[in-house]
Amino acid sequence: MNSFGLYLWEMLKTSGPWLIISFTACGLIHGVLRPESLQRSLGNKKFSSIVKVTISGMFLPVCSCGVLPLSIGLYRSGAYLGPTLAFLVAAPIINPAAIILSYALLGPQISTIYLASGFLLPVIIGLTANRFGGKLTVSPHSPPLGITLTCEVQEPLLHRLAGGLKWGFEDLAVQTCRFIIVGTGVAALLLAVIPATFIQNYLSNPQFLTLIGATLLGALMYVCAIAHIPFIAALVGIGTAPGIALAFLLSGVSTNLPKMISVWKLIGKRAVLIFAGIVVVYGIAVGFMMNLIFADSFLPQFERSETGVALAGYLNLQFPDAVKTACAVVVAVIAAYAWVTYVVRLLRRRRIV
């Protein structure tokens, strides 16, 4: 039980600052950006929109859960499901710090495949979501096309910013944290139950079933690209098949239980099936092909460039422990408020209170 509480707290401290930054950014964007401008840019099924949002996500050093509020904010402001899910997956997979650290610790072979795979995955998910999203393709919360909110545009900038921040924390944060805390709790429970040595020994098995299991395990766990690239380097260094290591990293960074539960509740079941299903199938396919290509000829190139590692550390934004603790407390309080409000509303609906 102590391990569960420790894992839960550490995961909240890791994601907390990024969640607060995301709520703030979403609020400011909501207050300033005209809905019709976002709809013109991302409210369509164009291939260029998918590529545009994927490239944008590549330059954001944000964690897997921290990107969730940004994606939900885009979706509810008029972005189609395809660009929304593409951004949701692209941002945590590829960022400058992760790529530099990957080349420094994993060498050019794995890193180049990781970079190419990390770009193609969001594009495939985005195109599939636009094609098979159904009623979820357009959010029911997004403003109707062609409507210009003249009165809102004419408000003073400070009023719009204040209104946007109010929306970001009173609306978006409450809804998002309510489900993030549940998913984080389940993920922490898995980490507490499954020993780290078991994960390392399991991933070292070169069998195809291990590739499938590693991809599924990564999709359930809370994995940060920056934090897990050294772990992947250690696995490859002890003889783990590179395809298995890459499949675990790809699926782990792309999704996790907190993200899947939140998307299920805030967007819909079909959205989860599309992006999580493609992540798992894609991870298995890339891992399998990588093992076939390299087979017995793969030689790890661990230069471990001190310059590369230092540059990656410089690009990877680090928060003081006091900031992480404060943000974790804020997220926990918002989540508690959200659940208390939900329970009270449910009891009143059933006329129990």
Q: What is the mean pLDDT of residues 59-70?
A: 73
CA 184 to chain centre: 13
Torsion (CA) 182, 185, 190, 196 in degrees, nearest 10: 140
pLDDT score recorded for residue 55: 87
Which DSSP string corresponds to 89-138? HHHHH--HHHHHHHHHHHHHHHHHHHHHHHHHHHHHHHHHHHHH-GGGGS
32/52: higher pLDDT = 52
Per-residue model confidence (pLDDT) at position 140: 85
Q: What is the DSSP string of 196-226?
A: HHHHHHHHT--SHHHHHHHHHHHHHS---HH
Using one digit for the tens of pLDDT, what is the confidence trace for 321-353? 999 999 999 999 999 999 999 888 888 887 765
Using CA atoms, how far apart are residues 191 and 220, in angstroms rounded to an integer?
10
Chain-wide mean pLDDT for the chain? 79
pLDDT tens-digit readout, 230-269 = 677 777 766 677 888 888 888 988 888 888 988 998 899 9
pLDDT score for 149: 44
Distance between CA 67 and CA 89 in Å, rounded? 9
pLDDT of residue 151: 45
How close are the terminal C-alpha atoms of the chain, in Å?
33
Q: Is 284 helix (H, G, I), strand (E, B) or coil?
A: helix
pLDDT computed for residue 201 by the predictor: 67
pLDDT in tens, 268-290: 999 999 999 999 999 999 999 88
Cβ(83)–Cβ(74) under 8 Å?
yes
Question: CB of 76 within 8 A of CB of 142?
Answer: yes
Whole-model pTM over 0.75: no
Each domain of the chain, given as residue ranges in start order, spans 2-349
pLDDT band, residue 157 (cuts 50/70/90): confident
Contact of 225 with 92, CB cutoff 8 Å:
yes
Instruction: State the pLDDT at residue 153.
Output: 47
Does pLDDT of 126 surpass 80? yes
Spatial contact of 166 and 52, defined as CB atoms under 8 Å apart: no
The mean per-residue pLDDT over the stretch 16-39 comes to 75
Q: What is the mean pLDDT of residues 58-76?
A: 77
Give residue 32's pLDDT.
Answer: 76
Report CA dihedral (213, 132, 224, 236) to the nearest 10 degrees. Answer: 40
Percentage of the residues of the chain whose pLDDT score is greater than 90:
20
Does the pLDDT of residue 146 top 60, yes or no?
A: no
Give the pLDDT band of residue 83 (cuts 50, 70, 90): very high
| Residue 69 in this model has a pLDDT that exceeds 60 | yes
- Nearest CA among 44, 35, 83, 89 for reference residue 62: 89
Residue with tokens 């918002």: 334
